[in-house]
A and B are shown apart, each in its own frame.
Chain A
């Protein structure tokens, strides 16, 4: 019975279907017909294969493998490349330095406050060596955090008058890890053209959009910021999540200039951009107490989002630190690659840095020395007068960069033979974004006396005379 009813029910549905078929409008039927034909075509057509996979036979593949010749792992380096004939220093690179067997006065090491040879620093390091040994045998997360690290971080934070500080075991890695921790793909970074290589590598690792502005040119920066603002108005949703940063250095290593921080602060609040300040050269040098460029200009340190510096210049240790508000610095403890995935700073270096910091705090150094190189013909001085690292560039280029480098080398050699140790500023020519012109680096430290500075100036004059004329 039920089966019959089911059968009737089925038939009834079938009748309905046929009726619907007759009653449907024409365009509907035509459309359905076309779709059915299309499906049939797709079902029976050959699947789309990537041409290459089916084209090569095994024999051809083997031949290709046989034929392929790679480049040599490294291109040959000419034997007279300047970096292969480097200066070897015997003994500590202090004020009187023994370079290649000859004693000279040191105008080349970044030992700004003369703390390299300080007895108190050395004895603090010795005490630490006795207690902790040399290495830390682990990254910060896995029993590599020593009480000296915590103490150094506290001292640095207190010295710079910020909430928190974080230390890295290598100066280069400090800013190169800090930038990618905050700025990711899609964010925008405005950076000065003369930024140092470590900043460039940090920016490359961050994969953000980089916008270079002319060195110390605030008008150019403002132009870029305005352009960005008009871009934002076209796409406000994206603009709400795109972070923006300005990366500048306090004292530029490549040019010796100071950055105009007060104007930058104004731009920061006007365009809502965060500022990252790299103070490797200015820490310990600028400001009444050596707190850097913020003290020099009298700016509230909280206005700067992140200050990064390395401890290898003024503090005569190894490593670097970042300081700022806890809100910002704490993030690096989990996302700073050079912090999480690398062994921590050896305790003896941290102890040395603490002692150096103590000395800096107790005797704030007033830098008044400067080298009187203004009247050297053929060479011009590049950099602020109070900058500890100056550049001496050729007034006019003698053709190619190679020639310039060779000439400057002769000047440097002349000076070295007469007892003043100088060095050329070294760059990786193919890797720099904006390669600075070749120059001699002159470093003024507090240990140099007036006579030594005069002697250096006159020697440079002589060297320039004899080589360039």
Chain B
């Protein structure tokens, strides 16, 4: 059978395939970087994948894990020491305290719950919640913030740090802009409608703008109908309970977003987790579910729904959609695809993972996405067959109890979508998609060459760069800010404890110069902080790589 790995096997020796066999065999290391053979069992994916599906999840050398644990241990010991000193009055207590009148109430927070926050997070807290005072485009202005008491409180000096390169905002297509021409229609609609809606969709809150937007979204995605909601998080947490209930089974990916997890919990259905992007694990769960039925009573499940995301924002991996769709068809399950990060960002014309894999939108039962990332607005949508959307119009929690989307935001989505579809008469939309693709490939390739460990698919604009050690998290973010680059770092609990990372979001609005500035800074910093953990040396034929890529 045609093997996608054969395409890249020839040139580069440091391309890795995520081996599904090994994931089940070697339960310890779930991410294996070496090519061991090219057998892929389950479905024959040679015919399913139309272009090479290359993902990297290289494991760091053992000493890194050891040092990471040592780092956390040292932090914990000092944390206990500090708590002890604070309890005995040897150190000033900066924490807000309970009221005098309520001192005999049951304490609101248990001391241990906050241990991590107080002693580890607090030390590097200045790297998060950084306030900005300009549009979150490819460059932005940060408000300068200093702390006089080691991050307990912050004070604004009143100065702004100008033109910091923005590698943290979800601005994939660059629609976060203040260009007067671009925002012309939004300005007009804001003048006409104001900012509020003051009612729910089912009462008096359905405006003609919503109808226009829903029709446009349906056309964009190529489905029968769509419905829009005011908040992306709430789209998941309020619609999954409407679709499934008790007696249903939810199969959810390990690394799903909190909104999906919350929606699944609120629905009351049984939840089973399968290993991240692992089709064997999913198939096993499906088979067991259908054969053995519900636990204890062995009644048949009412329905089975699979929850996956298009691009996983912490890993940068893309879902294996062709395999999931074939599994779903074989076992008669339903598929709910959350394209929060992938709509607009992947695909030849920006229509998401469905287009990226060359599949039809009818293959996915429920297409969900948000407008926050690629469209520079706010809100979410669910699209699919007309029955589905009609059902949601009547039974979604959001339609009945939550205010609808506000008209200027709806207009921003409309103009961005029209631009993307080419309906405004220009090719700007397609240009943005192409630019994002080029930027992504360039950035990822360069980072690989430098020797950093990068996770995720080669085509995903979300680029996690592994830092591992807790001490480096703070150091990395602060030094990058000194070089006038704003990055996002994430640690425990959003990621596993040993895998702290810096996450870059490439945007179509980044120019080659900006990316080069960032890459040079990363190169320097990587050497200074010893971040270049990758054991696979630089490619000896970089030009060859670029050529083969451009043929796509």
Contact = CB atoms under 8 A, between A and B. Distances in A.
Nearest to A201: B266
Contact of A140 (B129, B392, B399): B129
B371 to A, nearest CB: 8
Interface stretch (B102-110, B345-353, B516-524): B102-110
B486 A143 contact: yes
A132 B377 CA distance: 11
A130 B178 contact: yes
Interface string A384-416: 000000000000000000000000000000000
A428 B398 CA distance: 10
Contacts of A273: 105
Given A74-B387, A342-B233, A343-B378, A133 B194 contact: no
Contact of B134 (A131, A198, A341): A131
A364 B208 CA distance: 33
Contacts of A331: 108-109
Interface in B351-395: 365-366, 370-373, 375-378, 387-388, 390-395
A428 B395 contact: yes
A134 B199 contact: no
Interface stretch (A41-49, A83-91, A287-295): A83-91
Contact of A318 (B230, B290, B305): B230
A118 B93 CA distance: 47
B115 interface: no
Interface-central residue, A97, A134, A421, A441, by most chain B CB under 10 Å? A134
Given A133-B176, A137-B372, A93 B199 contact: yes
Contact of B133 (A135, A146, A274): A146
A312 interface: yes
A317 B193 CA distance: 12
B291 interface: yes
A239 B266 CA distance: 27
B333 interface: yes
Given A135-B377, A172-B398, A86 B258 contact: no
A274 B108 contact: yes
Given A242-B106, A343-B372, A142 B191 contact: no
B108 to A, nearest CB: 6
Contacts of A140: 129
Interface string B88-123: 000000001111011011111110000001000100
B166 interface: yes
B195 A143 contact: no
Given A93-B204, A146-B133, A170-B230, A318 B176 contact: no
B473 to A, nearest CB: 13
A110 interface: yes
A145 B131 contact: yes
Nearest to A337: B258
A461 interface: no
B273 interface: no
B429 interface: no
A94 interface: yes
Contacts of A108: 199, 203-204
B292 interface: yes
Contact of B332 (A70, A138, A337): A70
A126 B262 contact: no
Contacts of A141: 128-129
Given A129-B190, A135-B378, A110 B408 contact: no
A125 B195 contact: yes
B403 A171 contact: yes
Contact of B191 (A72, A126, A196): A126
B230 to A, nearest CB: 6
A68 interface: yes
Contact of B243 (A74, A269, A318): A74
Interface residues of A, number: 120
Contacts of A310: 403
A338 B233 contact: yes
Contacts of A32: none
A56 interface: yes
B372 A86 contact: no
Contacts of A333: 129
Interface of B: 96-99, 101-102, 104-110, 117, 121, 128-137, 140, 143, 166, 168-171, 175-178, 180, 183, 186-187, 190-208, 211, 230-234, 237-238, 241, 243, 257-259, 262, 265-266, 287, 290-292, 300-305, 331-334, 365-366, 370-373, 375-378, 387-388, 390-395, 397-403, 406-409, 412, 486, 488
30 contacts: A56-B291, A70-B302, A72-B387, A73-B365, A88-B206, A90-B207, A92-B192, A109-B197, A109-B198, A110-B199, A133-B136, A133-B376, A134-B408, A135-B377, A136-B136, A137-B372, A143-B166, A146-B133, A147-B133, A169-B378, A170-B230, A171-B402, A201-B397, A204-B266, A310-B403, A318-B230, A342-B232, A346-B377, A428-B395, A431-B397
Given A88-B206, A172-B397, 18 more contacts: A70-B333, A93-B197, A93-B199, A122-B190, A129-B178, A146-B131, A147-B132, A169-B378, A170-B230, A170-B402, A173-B233, A242-B106, A312-B198, A312-B403, A325-B99, A341-B259, A345-B378, A425-B203
Interface of A: 52, 56, 61, 64-65, 68-77, 81, 83-84, 86-94, 97, 99, 106, 108-111, 115-118, 121-122, 125-126, 129-138, 140-147, 149-150, 169-173, 176, 182, 196-198, 201, 204-205, 239-244, 269, 272-274, 302, 310, 312-313, 315-318, 325-328, 330-331, 333-334, 337-338, 341-343, 345-346, 348-349, 352, 421, 423-428, 431, 441
Top 9 nearest A-B pairs (CB, nearest first) are A316-B196, A342-B233, A170-B231, A74-B391, A327-B96, A172-B402, A137-B169, A108-B204, A83-B394
